[in-house]
Amino acid sequence: MSVASEKALVPFVSVDNMMRLVRSFGIERVLTDLASEIEADFKRWPLFDKISRVGSHSDVGVIELMPTSDGEMYGFKYVNGHPKNTINGLQTVTAFGLLADVESGYPILLTEMTLLTALRTAATSAIVAKYLMPKNSTIMAMIGNGAQSEFQCIAFKAICGITSIRLYDTDFSATKKVTQNLQGRGLDLVVCNSAEDAVSGAQIITTCTADKKCATILTDNMVGSGVHINAIGGDCPGKTELHRDILFRSEIFVEHPAQTRIEGEIQQLDADHPVTEVWEVMAGNKRGRSNASQITLFDSVGFAIEDFSALKYIFKNALSAKFYDYLDLIADPNDPRDLFGMLERFKA
């Protein structure tokens, strides 16, 4: 049996250790910290490689790789999206990620990212909303009450000051789950009987549904002036949530236009329809919300730089808190040129 050298050992954050970190730090702190990491990286957006994710699509879902680098570290995430998985007791989305040192090419972190993706998605939604939502917003409609919804609600409370959530899902058991999970977290939870009911009085509308189809979760008449829409469910070709007419009334903000035009709500529009990249708003180059009556839309599909920010955060905090194990992942012969000799000398 071989004994791996220290150079061959890669820190690995398992699901259990990810949960230990979140429970130890507190979920609101983690979400707030992640939002700060994402905001800081968005402000240095030009330094990053920007590659639309590489997707392998099928009739039942998608498997994707999401890579980027800032020249010092490289990161990627493997993630799937299979809406029908829940029928078989499986997660709709699962993920893992890797962070590597550019100078050597060696991996420095391998981590679960199913939980981390939910956390970084919610943190991204909330930090973008901080720039785009109406002033003094307190009420959010949460349409789609699946696995992502609680993270969204807590992030908007912690980062944006939301105090009331109007919940709706076509499956009442999903809404019941959310109300149970969010009890005691300082949010007023209102169960609604329809999407129309949910958006009534809301300053922010979050849509987060999973069906892999062009759906109409929001129709034009449901969206009044001055609201901010956080559309996160339409995230692959042929999957949307908003009626096309809403887009023409909105100022649209996106992560990476080349990716969003294929995957986001704006796949319904012409390729030259104007959009604003959110990094430019955060960097102070472009304007966010301009007036109280403006409808702002964050057409969020998720981008690799957000995962990179999350990987950096976990690398720093999981290691310092010792919430990790080691994996013997890298072959490490005594002579770097003698990989075959290492194999020959191995005794099982």
Catalytic residue among 16, 101, 197, 235: 235
Active site residue 235: yes
Residue 180, C-beta contacts closer than 8 angstroms, at least 6 positions apart: none
**C-alpha dihedral over 241, 242, 244, 250, to 10 degrees?**
-140
- Helix (H) or strand (E) holding 201, with range, is none
Closest CA to 76 of 27, 117, 22: 117
Q: Which residues pair with 240 in a beta bridge?
A: 214
* Segment 159-163 long-range contacts (CB within 8 Å, at least 24 positions apart): 159/31, 159/32, 159/35, 159/123, 159/126, 159/127, 159/129, 159/130, 160/126, 160/129, 160/130, 160/133, 160/204, 161/136, 161/137, 162/137, 162/138, 162/187, 162/204, 163/138, 163/139, 163/187, 163/188
3-state helix, strand, coil in the chain (%, to 5): 40, 25, 35
Q: Which two tokens stand for residue 257?
A: 């236009």
List C-alpha distances in Å: 311 to 76, 100, 290: 9, 10, 34
- The gap from C-alpha 120 to its chain's centroid, in whole angstroms, comes to 4
Known catalytic residues are 235
